[in-house]
Chain A
Amino acid sequence: MSEPVKQEGAQALDEGIEAGISGLTTEQIASVINEVIDNETGARLKTYVDTCVHCGLCSEACHFYLSHEKDPHYSPVGKVKQTLWEMLRKKGRVGPAFIKNAAIIAHTECNLCKRCAQYCPFGIDIAYLMLVVRRIIHKLGVTPLYIQDTAHSHSVTMNQMWVKGDEWPDTLQWQEEEAQTEIPTLRIPLDKEGADIMYSVIAPEPKFQAQLIYQMAVIMDVAGVNWTMPATLGWDNSDMAMYTGDNEIMGRLKRTHYETAQRLRVKRIVMGECGHAFRSVYDMGNRWLGWKMPPIPMVHAIDFYHELLSQGRIKIKQKYPEPVTLHDPCNVVRGGGLGEKLREVAHAMCETVVEMHPNREHNYCCSAGGGVINCGPPFKMTRVNGNRVKAEQLFAAKTRGAKTLITPCHNCHSGLHDIVEHFGIGLEIKFISDILYEIIEKPEAT
């Protein structure tokens, strides 16, 4: 049976993938694939492969598939066919060109958003199968360059962005001083043992979004929270190693994070508005370390804001007047059930909330998550063009009046920014804290 040609533009060139495959032989590839399949997978992989009846019903879950005129190469099961099925059928004996293609598919054409798990009648976890492919790619050394660099940063510095030891407290001090011009008594308590809350962020915040730390410091101060940020390694909750299949580094990161919280004897960890980090601390990293649930309560920012608002610890001075729409991040809404709380926070903050459709756990992914945006510039258009349905969904919300787009996730932010810009949608994108900081009652500057 002849197969349709895949719709794509010029194939992106990734130095990491090219260098990775250049020295590979079929024998090496087979040995790595079989080693991963035999030793690292078990009942799930076998049962999923045996149970799948090739019905194609997962297809319409995927934004890549929907955005490419329903090209079957982009359907979830189509991606499994082009990667794992073939590896299993040939008992690992596939060539370097196949591995290159598998790396591109698993790393840049799947966001591991798990929407397809909601569409498969058997509940087959295709994102897990793609992670198995990424694990193989990792062990073959063919991971795309940019995300591999991020994993290296995690390994060397225990943070995602090569933030050096002195840069971290320096940034916090800088933000503290900035915020003191507004609230002179404000502190960002560093390494305070016995605080109620350890606040953790992802490394892009100190690197180039320091205002988010400023905003959170103001919110914490106004709410009178007994909080701290660690001075040592473990302050960064992000985890791109989870997405490169480098589970060992994922484990090191999460252990350091939780051990830092334990050293500070905090009651719980509150994390900033990030999706993938939530997946790492709540779903994948903790499990790798053998913890069913996080060893210290882990609270996402949505949950935390919800708590502060519902307990009246922060008060809204004046609601945000512009109509907003909400983008539900996969990792905290499909992955953590925070959809309703996000809505309650949004309604408490804003005059008008316009729902986009589909929403909540059925929302389309931003196409940046799952490490795809971290594969860098070579694959920017892969994810932007691969998410035309998102542009249509945003545009529909805009035509119903939305002017601002709220999403409590860094990857969603960056991904949606590119989509909004490329398709000319014209929505202003904000974090919850961007708005909260503006509208809460603050002590008057003296």
Chain B
Amino acid sequence: MHDVYSFVTGPLAWAAFLLFIGGSLFKLGWMLHLVAKKERFIFTYMSWRYSFRSILHWIMPFATTNWKLHPVLTIVTFAFHLCLLATPLFLLSHIILWDEAWNIRWWAFPDALADVMTVVVILSCLFFLIRRVQQPEVRFVTSTSDFIILAIVAMPFITGFIAYHQWFNYKVSFILHILSGEVMLAAIPFTRLSHMILSPFTRAYMGSEFGGVRHAKDW
């Protein structure tokens, strides 16, 4: 078991971070390369002002017409994304790992808060799953990959929650937690989870078009 632990926290962790960072940079670089090669006009129309005008509206709950149309989804999706990003970054046990490995540390959430945020992520994933199956317009455009992506995101939180509360075999759930976290990191650039990297750019471009050319609101 110790060997497995060493492997997942050693070489696999390196591989996951390399894939995540390298893959993300590659993805961004490839997109910019394609713009430069085939759609240079996009640079012409991009505007900082209108990009941020659009991004700011869409990252604020209820600031757009469509967020207002779907209040429950809006609350869930904002809570989900916030907890999904913040919990792993500010979890005390994660920070301890950074401290041990690189001697860097920062402020941490109290464990009880992190616990609640983990539950928020898990319940949100459940909400998305039910929505995907229940809502005809979502079910119609759902493929197997959508369920796999949802599972990839939910697993680190489910296993982390189980490990923290030491419900089953702690060592197994702990290793599964690390493993699933690594799978998620590595999957980000290579699945539609890449919306994490790309969506600011698509939003910015549409914001620029609507602001600079169409003189209309895109929210």
Which residue numbers of A lie inside 8 Å of B, CB to CB?
Answer: 1, 3-4, 41-44, 46-48, 50-57, 59-61, 65, 70-73, 75, 77-78, 81, 117-119, 121-125, 283, 287, 292, 333-339, 360-362
Contact at B34–A46, with CB atoms within 8 Å?
A: yes
Contact at A287–B41, with CB atoms within 8 Å?
A: yes
CA distance A3 to B192 in the complex (A): 23
Contact at A123–B205, with CB atoms within 8 Å?
A: yes
Those of B201-217 within 8 Å (CB) of chain A? 201-207, 209-210, 213-217
Contact at A118–B34, with CB atoms within 8 Å?
A: no
- Residues in B with CB closer than 8 Å to A56 are 135, 137-138, 140-141
CB distance from A114 to the nearest CB of B (A): 8
Q: Is B97 an interface residue (CB 8 A)?
A: no
CB distance from A414 to the nearest CB of B (A): 24
Show 6 residue pairs from A and B whose CB-CB distance is below 8 angstroms, ordered by the A residue. Answer: A43-B39, A46-B31, A56-B140, A121-B203, A125-B206, A361-B217
Contact at A50–B137, with CB atoms within 8 Å?
A: no
Which residue numbers of B lie inside 8 Å of A, CB to CB?
Answer: 31-32, 34-35, 37-39, 41-42, 44-45, 54, 58, 64-66, 69-70, 73, 135-143, 146, 149, 192, 194-195, 198-199, 201-207, 209-210, 213-219
CA distance A296 to B211 in the complex (A): 21
Contact at A51–B192, with CB atoms within 8 Å?
A: yes
CB distance from A99 to the nearest CB of B (A): 21
CA distance A3 to B142 in the complex (A): 11
Contact at B65–A119, with CB atoms within 8 Å?
A: yes
CA distance A123 to B142 in the complex (A): 20
CA distance A335 to B218 in the complex (A): 11
CA distance A42 to B137 in the complex (A): 28
CA distance A125 to B213 in the complex (A): 15
CB distance from B140 to the nearest CB of A (A): 3
- Residues in A with CB closer than 8 Å to B65 are 118-119, 362
Contact at B139–A75, with CB atoms within 8 Å?
A: no
Contact at B218–A118, with CB atoms within 8 Å?
A: yes
Given A43-B42, A362-B65, A123 contacting B202 (CB threshold 8 A): yes
Contact at B218–A43, with CB atoms within 8 Å?
A: no
Other-chain residue from A42, A51, A60, A337 in contact with B195 (beta carbon distance below 8 A): A51
Contact at B137–A59, with CB atoms within 8 Å?
A: yes
CB distance from B52 to the nearest CB of A (A): 13
- Residues in B with CB closer than 8 Å to A72 are 136-137, 139-141
Which residue in chain B gives the minimum CB-CB distance to A117?
B206
Contact at A122–B199, with CB atoms within 8 Å?
A: yes
CA distance A347 to B32 in the complex (A): 47
Most buried by B among A335, A338, A360: A335
- Residues in B with CB closer than 8 Å to A77 are 137, 141
- Residues in A with CB closer than 8 Å to B32 are 43
Contact at A54–B141, with CB atoms within 8 Å?
A: yes
Which residue in chain A gives the minimum CB-CB distance to B36?
A43
- Residues in B with CB closer than 8 Å to A61 are 66
- Residues in A with CB closer than 8 Å to B38 are 41-43
Contact at B66–A123, with CB atoms within 8 Å?
A: no
Contact at B70–A57, with CB atoms within 8 Å?
A: yes
- Residues in B with CB closer than 8 Å to A81 are 140-141
- Residues in B with CB closer than 8 Å to A46 are 31, 34
Which residue in chain A gives the minimum CB-CB distance to B206?
A123
- Residues in A with CB closer than 8 Å to B31 are 43, 46-47
Other-chain residue from B135, B142, B192, B213 in contact with A283 (beta carbon distance below 8 A): B213
9 closest cross-chain pairs (CB), A and B: A337-B215, A123-B206, A42-B38, A72-B140, A43-B34, A56-B138, A361-B216, A56-B137, A59-B137
Contact at B216–A119, with CB atoms within 8 Å?
A: no
- Residues in B with CB closer than 8 Å to A52 are 192, 195
Contact at A60–B216, with CB atoms within 8 Å?
A: no
CB distance from B149 to the nearest CB of A (A): 8
Taking A44-B39, A123-B207 as given, write out 16 further A-B residue pairs in contact, using a Cβ cutoff of 8 Å, ordered by the A residue number. A42-B39, A43-B39, A50-B198, A54-B146, A56-B135, A56-B137, A56-B141, A81-B141, A118-B65, A121-B199, A122-B195, A123-B202, A125-B209, A292-B44, A334-B216, A337-B215
